[in-house]
Structure 1
Amino acid sequence: MPAPSEPRRFRAVAVQPQWGASDFLTSARFQRWMRAQLEAARPHLHPQQPNLVVLTELNGLPLVLRGGWLAAATRRFEWAAGLLLLQHLPLALPILWWERVSPVRALQLARIDEHTALYLQTCRALAREYGVWLVCGSTPMPHYRREGRRLRREDASLYNQTVILAPDGTLVGCTDKVHLTPDEGPAGVDLTPGQLEWLRVFPTPVGDLGVAISLDAFRPDVVTRLEQLGCTVLLQPDANGSPWTALEGLYPEGQTPRDQPLAWLESSWQVTAHSSTIRYAINPMVVGNLLDLSFDGQSAITGPAAEAPHPRSYVMTSPRPGFLALLPWVQERGTPEQLRAVGQQLAAHSGHPRENRYRSGVLHADLSLPPSTRHPTPAGAHEQAISALLNGEADMAPPSVLQHWLWLVAGLLLGLVLSPRAGHGQRR
């Protein structure tokens, strides 16, 4: 770590991977998929300076498919969710009964402890093996508390959460996504929004890191909060669930929707173009068709115009300064109508020869910042619990199936006993 008076010089690396359902069917496949991203980043790592590697949003969400070979074969999200719920009903049904959550939330919570442990231990091993500051992307994760050598989730909430690890595999911090898209809400994967006041900034040798997951980087309240906390490097892990050249799906009422790449300029690029505090932003985007869902985009690293004088921009937008690194889209030239057509050809179930032939890749940029004047804020109870798991001081052995069902049967019997009594007090 540089001395306090020295500038921080480091390399930022953004990985744009391609995913598919088969990458998540076993623990070994998931580990290979994650490791392949760090292996792709290896040639871009600086040999002498610290490296900051940023992965993509919700790269742990498809772990719900683990072991669900038949579900993955349906190639439909809703059908797969139904089959998975049946497959894991012994674990999910008591959660449905006791915690009064949706079937989709119950399905995720049924094995969330083992998925969280797999995700964190995989990322910890990669951070240590490659010696990088690793922004793990994000994954659905509850808030945990430590009870002796066991971790237990606080409640039935499930956040879209980013975890940052140091090169030795220790925890730097966690951040929850504040603004959820409709696909992340009750009608989709049913996640829980984080709270604006929970956002923090993490001082490190690779910047004072603030996380704005996907939609959060478009929202002034999140950006302003991170600026007030002293953020100098904005991290925007992303999973854009629509064709890249389609019209934007989220826009103010009464406003005409724009081409999505044009709308995307209002996130990382706009932040670094106008913020007096946030100097750089790193926005990796995942691509690929996951069942019947399509993900596409252009990963980018943005910063001061003086450091990126060569004008360039997303496809379908005019060149401009501020892009330090930008991954090209699959086709750079054509009319808007032609480019929109290509986006639809790439999408799931298009039947076109170009289906699922997205562009993956890795970007890097060398960044420099003045010394940090910030001090780390104390870790919260959840971060302390995650640290204990990563350090081997605690584990998350979930309750047995038998214990789940004993609680369910006890609840049903209690309901039968109390229901007649409750009726006596009712007016007719």
Structure 2
Amino acid sequence: MSERSPAGRNFRVIAVQPQWSAADFTSAAAFRAWLRSQLELARPHLAPGRPNLVVLTELNGLPLVLRGSGWVTRLGTFQRAATALFLTRLPRVLLLLLRERVSPIRALQLADSAENVRLYLDTCRDLAREYGVYLCCGSTPMPRYRLEGRRLVREPRTLHNETVLLDPRGDLIGVTDKVHLTPDEEAGGVDLTPGPLAELRVFPAPVGDLGVAISLDAFRADVIGRLEDQGCTVLLQPDANGAPWTSPEGLPPDPTNVRDQPVAWLESSWQATAGSQTIRYAVNPMVVGNLLDLTFDGQSAITARAEEAPELRSYVLTDPRPGFLALLPWVEEGPAERLREVGRHLAARSGHPHENCYRTGVLYADLSLPPSRVPTPPRTAHEEALAALLEGRAALPRSRPLWPLLGLAALPWVLRRRKR
């Protein structure tokens, strides 16, 4: 909800750069402890007497697909783990494959989506309340829902990379779906559904007129332009960069345009605040850590216009410049070739003594904005459903064992065999 003050808005933003591991997602207790540890990192930096906005990282709920099957983490790669999960959860996955005609990897995620969504949202709501903060929950794969009475009904086939924004009461401010997916998020990877550009909205709050551009979206002019047109003043960019930070980058629309990752990152939050007429600040937390055979690394940042952040600094492998209010150092400084070598040492399965030795930390900045003139957007049907869930007015149906249903499905085949 929009809260306007004639005296303007003074608040603090906090970006948390955590390290994850597969073990953080193998049980509900482990996941809650991992998310809580991030709010504990933020706690010493919370500003008393003013609103605080804590921003978490992208896809921090994706590995919940591992929940309840910690043994698969010993298989070493995400591909092997996903295959093993598919086979062991075949009763729940098979009907989704047949009924909704989705890929095996999307069916695997949808099969346990009710329990994982409930765990994710309940945990984030409880943390927002306990720490008294506005919370950008990061993002997680989430289906679309609609509310029918006191029950949430899932829309078939869809699975978005979605950010949820909560207020200090744990109530829903709004949600945003990622529009531009990376190749790893498309059909050849975890097979998510791209969000419609037309559904991107800005949410006015005491901590800014919030627009969310999840990872790659913050690099895209159509996303930034739509948020600017709606009066976005604070851009949130939850991120999970799935590559060594000092390795080359090449993404659509031109995968042959290979440059260092940090050079590419200047075209997201930093560029948005440097060139926008409306976006005053941007918050870009990045997760680090090797997740089985996958590598994640980066440098979290809070950016602003040059006149508000005149100190010269920048990502490694780039020249110092104004525009960074706060920037987490990388694990090392030095010549470019040395930094590229260190990035390879940190990466998954490098075998180096420094493998998985990333830097974690917290960034914060005190920001000021005039009173908001942005109207509160009407809620979508999906947001109405999530709000009811968070407030305890509705519930998600629990998954039921599907062996009996599979038995019924096989009954005609059995009867035919008996007649022979």
TM-score of the superposition, structure 1-length normalised? 0.94
Q: Deviations over 1:128-186 (max 9, x none)?
A: 00000000000000010111121111111100000000000000000000000000011
Residue 263 of structure 1 is matched in structure 2 by 264
Q: Structure 1 residues 8 and 350 mapped into 2: Cα distance closer, same or farther (>3 Å)?
A: same
Alignment-mate amino acid for residue 154 of structure 1 = E
Tell me if structure 1 keeps the 8 A contact 2:4–2:206: no
Q: Deviations over 1:376-414 (max 9, x none)?
A: 111111000001110111111234224x752x5555668
Matches within 5 A, 1:237-316: 237-250=238-251, 252-253=253-254, 256-316=257-317
Residue 211 of structure 2 is matched in structure 1 by 210
SS, match of residue 306 in structure 1: coil
Tell me if structure 2 keeps the 8 A contact 1:2–1:8: no
Q: Structure 1 residues 157 and 412 mapped into 2: Cα distance closer, same or farther (>3 Å)?
A: farther
Residue 385 of structure 1 is matched in structure 2 by 385
Alignment-mate amino acid for residue 260 of structure 2 = D
Residue 24 of structure 1 is matched in structure 2 by 25
Tell me if structure 2 keeps the 8 A contact 1:94–1:405: no
SS, match of residue 58 in structure 1: coil
- Distance in 2 (alpha carbons) for counterparts of 1:277 and 1:413: 63
- Distance in 2 (alpha carbons) for counterparts of 1:15 and 1:278: 21
Tell me if structure 1 keeps the 8 A contact 2:230–2:374: no
Structure 2 residue 243 is matched with structure 1 residue 229 = no
Alignment-mate amino acid for residue 9 of structure 1 = N
Q: Structure 1 residues 254 and 149 mapped into 2: Cα distance closer, same or farther (>3 Å)?
A: closer
Q: Which runs of 5+ in 2 are unaligned?
A: 416-420
- Distance in 2 (alpha carbons) for counterparts of 1:273 and 1:205: 23
Alignment-mate amino acid for residue 228 of structure 2 = E
SS, match of residue 194 in structure 2: coil
Matches within 5 A, 1:181-200: 181-200=182-201
- Distance in 1 (alpha carbons) for counterparts of 2:141 and 2:197: 18
Q: Percent identity?
A: 64
SS, match of residue 322 in structure 2: coil
- Distance in 2 (alpha carbons) for counterparts of 1:213 and 1:81: 24
Residue 60 of structure 1 is matched in structure 2 by 61
Residue 124 of structure 1 is matched in structure 2 by 125
Q: Deviations over 1:276-308 (max 9, x none)?
A: 011100000000000100000000000011111
What is the deviation of 1:256? Answer: 4.0
Name the Cα RMSD after superposition: 1.7
- Distance in 1 (alpha carbons) for counterparts of 2:344 and 2:170: 40
- Distance in 1 (alpha carbons) for counterparts of 2:247 and 2:154: 39
- Distance in 1 (alpha carbons) for counterparts of 2:255 and 2:70: 44
Matches within 5 A, 1:149-160: 149-160=150-161
What is the deviation of 1:74? Answer: 1.0
- Distance in 1 (alpha carbons) for counterparts of 2:154 and 2:76: 31
SS, match of residue 40 in structure 1: helix
Alignment-mate amino acid for residue 229 of structure 2 = Q
- Distance in 1 (alpha carbons) for counterparts of 2:35 and 2:397: 24
Matches within 5 A, 1:91-106: 91-106=92-107
Alignment-mate amino acid for residue 235 of structure 1 = L
Residue 423 of structure 1 is matched in structure 2 by none
Greater shift in the superposed pair: 345-354 or 389-398: 389-398
Residue 355 of structure 2 is matched in structure 1 by 355
What is the deviation of 1:249? Answer: 2.7
- Distance in 2 (alpha carbons) for counterparts of 1:203 and 1:4: 12
Alignment-mate amino acid for residue 310 of structure 2 = P
Alignment-mate amino acid for residue 191 of structure 1 = L
Residue 34 of structure 1 is matched in structure 2 by 35
Alignment-mate amino acid for residue 110 of structure 1 = A
Residue 373 of structure 1 is matched in structure 2 by 373
Residue 422 of structure 1 is matched in structure 2 by none
What is the deviation of 1:226? Answer: 0.4
Tell me if structure 2 keeps the 8 A contact 1:9–1:366: yes
Q: Structure 1 residues 388 and 251 mapped into 2: Cα distance closer, same or farther (>3 Å)?
A: closer
- Distance in 2 (alpha carbons) for counterparts of 1:68 and 1:359: 28
Alignment-mate amino acid for residue 381 of structure 1 = A
Residue 139 of structure 2 is matched in structure 1 by 138
Alignment length, in residue pairs? 414
What is the deviation of 1:309? Answer: 1.1
SS, match of residue 307 in structure 1: coil
Q: Structure 1 residues 141 and 405 mapped into 2: Cα distance closer, same or farther (>3 Å)?
A: farther
Alignment-mate amino acid for residue 186 of structure 1 = A
Tell me if structure 1 keeps the 8 A contact 2:114–2:399: no
- Distance in 1 (alpha carbons) for counterparts of 2:111 and 2:355: 33
SS, match of residue 259 in structure 2: coil
Alignment-mate amino acid for residue 395 of structure 2 = D
- Distance in 1 (alpha carbons) for counterparts of 2:130 and 2:331: 32
Structure 2 residue 401 is matched with structure 1 residue 401 = yes
Q: Deviations over 1:192-249 (max 9, x none)?
A: 0000001010000000000000000000000000001111100000000000000113
Tell me if structure 2 keeps the 8 A contact 1:35–1:126: yes
SS, match of residue 352 in structure 1: coil
Tell me if structure 1 keeps the 8 A contact 2:251–2:257: no
Q: Structure 1 residues 254 and 82 mapped into 2: Cα distance closer, same or farther (>3 Å)?
A: closer
